[in-house]
Structure 1
Amino acid sequence: MKKALIFSLSTGGGHNTAARNLKEIFTDSDYEVVIVDTMNKISPKLDRTINKGYETLANKVPSSWGALYQLSNKKKISKGLFSTLAKVSRKTIIEILHRERPDIILGTHPFVVSFIASMKKEGIIRLPFISVVTDFVAHDLYLHDYVDAYIVGSDFTKIKMVEKGIHPDRVHSCGIPISKIFTIRKDPPSFETFKILVMAGSVGFNYIIHIVDALLSIDRPIHIRALCGRNDKIKEKMKRRFAKDIQEGRLELFSYTDDVASLMDDSHCVLTKPGGLSVTEALNKNLPLLLPHYVPGQEKENVEFLLSNHLAFYARTPKETKKIMEEIMDSPEVLDIVKDNMEKITSNYHRKKIIHIANELIKKGSFT
């Protein structure tokens, strides 16, 4: 039995979700799979600092997170910082590799490229390495000559990477890995009541309160399901603030849930921040997106991709969110245009293609 070793990080929720989805795909293809929360293994204290820093900046001071993202996206700055981090991680990575003895390595975070590719360049690692890009524009940290293959979410992503010097044969636009449950589609609900799914990300971003408040002011038959992530404070605050609407059945509140696929099946539209995984899940479910918020940095780039391909609606304020939603409810046929565009994008998505790529790399050995 072949063995895949997946290195992930816990910043946000998408990277670990991608890792779990990869495990599902590889396990279904008779691989043994081990997932490593990389930074936690290297330094639990540093891991907690990074995760807390991300949650605080992205939720409370998003402009600062955006500035940090752009700074790290400059090669001269990122090269020095992350080469140092790669050297610090080396001993731990080697110990993990010796213990697990994988046939192939995969990574779901740009930091992992810094760790693994630098060791491949020095000849310390000779195993094939696949990097999964979990957004629609690749951060420069993903780009490295010693990555054997990239899995990306669109041809747009591939084109941008090729423009930065990555060989096109190494980039495969077969979709950001999702769980197979998101590949199953069901008939949409009746339009008698317009059903809206609002997602605040795994962190539970504060914007959800203002968006739900605006939506509840729509004077039409609606039913809102709001996913508050792991932010129990936000959920309790919303329980108090919207008690009447909850009692009347116009609003349901959820904490972090693994039932997102079923909730998408029973919705006409999803309002979410544009994380790569959430977007890909909605694309596969053919569920139109309205984007009421984004975290500056990678999500701003995701918004630009989605809007340029007419895959989503975008609202700058809660008031604009309400207006767009009312227009959609007045003319629901506009959703069909978005759905058609989603079909075109997802026609290239093949979850199992990564298995073929992995098998070929193991058979031929590392190209780099």
Structure 2
Amino acid sequence: MSKKVLIMSASTGGGHNRAARAIKEELEQKIIDGIPVQCEIIDSLKLVNNTMDKIISRGYEKSAIYTPKAYGRVYRFSETSLASKNEFKGNLLTSFMAQKFKKLLKDSQPDLIIGTHPFPMIALSTLKKSKDTYLNSTNLSETFSRHSYDIKVPPMISVLTDYTTHSTWIQNEISYYIAGHEYVKELLVVEGVESSKVKTFGIPVEKSFLSNRDRETVLNELGLSPDKLTVLLMGGSFGAGNIKETLAELLSIDRDFQILVITGRNQSLREKIDKNLALHPHDKSVCVLGYTNKMNDILASIDVLITKPGGLTTTEALLKDVPMIVPYYIPGQEEENLEFLTNCGAALRTTKKYTLSVLLKVLIDDSSRLDMLKRNIKSIRKFNSSQNIADLVVDILSEEKN
């Protein structure tokens, strides 16, 4: 009989689903007792309720674009003692999710669950905690109904998709945590997670991302020169950040370089940028793209990335040896990702005095500065995350069999 793994994700930003796909790709190549592992990705919020999915997923997107400071305040509040780790299980949202997941567990009967988003893992931990409480209790009049306890909640692995921790990730019922770096492991340990539960495999990316075409071919297709320093400006899958203002600053810099702008799925932003470029003369070669599935080629062909520091964006830049300048971020996990990058010497952060213009001019004028950033990147990047996660899953399932 084949082993079945569920990967619980959510569409709040693109990173959780991309990490889920990367893990699924590797797991489906694994064999246990001569039978391939079955693997299914569950979009947790859609499974619970389409309206809830739209509210939460679109709410995250809108807050990222229009009200990032408000998002940051909510993020920081949820880290306070008023909403501490392991205390989200009584939350109305996660309790509702837990009820919905009962049917999923009964129907699927998974042997292991992996989470690339914290919400479903809190809900599943709620079920597991309730069952364990019931089984260990001599009080047969527990407030929970008996039918809840014939549900098997299998071992669970949480895959952190940022270079930081948050109390929503930390649940006693989690078997293992996958962290992006040793620094993140230490943050988890400080929060009370057992060191043996944390594997520093890195954030998973799809295997296809690691291959790419040569720089000359890629830049020629974009109408850019392979011989000129190339700066990529972007703001994640939905074009968040002050991209218009940042592009205006880049165009004013008195150095010879070319610019590639990616606006993601934000079609309105692309149209505004195209209009501004047409109305205001400049001396730079500029290419503007919307959504693209060629980031593996593009990141391998540029010299500097100007972006907000999402977990997957950051990981992909590290894997392609691309130095980053970060002029904007969503307060919360992205701000903490930036702290990680700067502490590791892998990115530069703009400030009131150290503006984008100042930082980029130094990198252009002194190539050794770019080389230094690349050396630091090489010291922290982690390949083979998905493969290592898949191997861990096989080890867990094989132990359970014995």
TM-score, normalisation: structure 1:
0.92
For structure 1, list consecutive stretches of 5 or more residues without a partner in the other structure.
Answer: none
Report the alpha carbon displacement of residue 246 of structure 1 after superposing the two structures with TM: 10
Matches within 5 A, 1:5-154: 5-29=6-30, 30-74=36-80, 76-77=82-83, 79=87, 83-123=91-131, 124-154=151-181
Report the alpha carbon displacement of residue 186 of structure 1 after superposing the two structures with TM: 7.1
* 2:371 corresponds to 1:336: yes
User: Which residue does 1:230 correspond to in 2?
Assistant: 265
Question: Which consecutive aligned stretches of 4+ in structure 1 deviate over 6 angstroms post-superposition?
Answer: 185-191, 244-249
TM-score, normalisation: structure 2:
0.85
* 2:188 corresponds to 1:182: no
The range that moved more, 305-314 or 197-206, is: 197-206
Distance 1:173 1:305, change over 3 A: same
Distance, in Å, in 1 between the alignment partners of 2:125 and 2:88 is 15
* 2:374 corresponds to 1:345: no
Report the alpha carbon displacement of residue 126 of structure 1 after superposing the two structures with TM: 3.1
Instruction: Classify the secondary structure of the residue corresponding to 1:182.
Output: helix
Amino acid at match of 2:58: K
How many residue pairs are counted as aligned between the two chains? 366
Report the alpha carbon displacement of residue 248 of structure 1 after superposing the two structures with TM: 7.7
Report the alpha carbon displacement of residue 55 of structure 1 after superposing the two structures with TM: 2.0
Distance, in Å, in 1 between the alignment partners of 2:44 and 2:248 is 39
* 2:243 corresponds to 1:208: yes
Distance, in Å, in 1 between the alignment partners of 2:230 and 2:90 is 45
Distance, in Å, in 2 between the alignment partners of 1:251 and 1:200 is 16
Report the alpha carbon displacement of residue 24 of structure 1 after superposing the two structures with TM: 1.8
Report the alpha carbon displacement of residue 84 of structure 1 after superposing the two structures with TM: 2.5
Distance 1:155 1:215, change over 3 A: same
- Kept after mapping to 2: 8 A contact 1:182/1:284: no
Distance, in Å, in 2 between the alignment partners of 1:88 and 1:313 is 42
Distance, in Å, in 2 between the alignment partners of 1:6 and 1:135 is 17
User: Which residue does 1:274 correspond to in 2?
Assistant: 309
The range that moved more, 229-238 or 48-57, is: 48-57
Report the alpha carbon displacement of residue 138 of structure 1 after superposing the two structures with TM: 1.1
The range that moved more, 115-124 or 159-168, is: 115-124
Distance, in Å, in 1 between the alignment partners of 2:306 and 2:264 is 14
- Kept after mapping to 1: 8 A contact 2:233/2:305: yes
Report the alpha carbon displacement of residue 76 of structure 1 after superposing the two structures with TM: 3.5
Amino acid at match of 1:71: F
- Kept after mapping to 1: 8 A contact 2:111/2:397: yes
- Kept after mapping to 2: 8 A contact 1:245/1:251: no
Instruction: Classify the secondary structure of the residue corresponding to 2:41.
Output: strand
Q: Answer with 1 or 2: which has the greater Rg.
A: 2
- Kept after mapping to 2: 8 A contact 1:153/1:176: yes
Instruction: Classify the secondary structure of the residue corresponding to 2:63.
Output: helix
Amino acid at match of 1:159: E
- Kept after mapping to 1: 8 A contact 2:319/2:381: yes
Amino acid at match of 1:176: I
Distance, in Å, in 2 between the alignment partners of 1:125 and 1:67 is 37
For structure 2, list consecutive stretches of 5 or more residues without a partner in the other structure.
Answer: 31-35, 132-150, 217-224
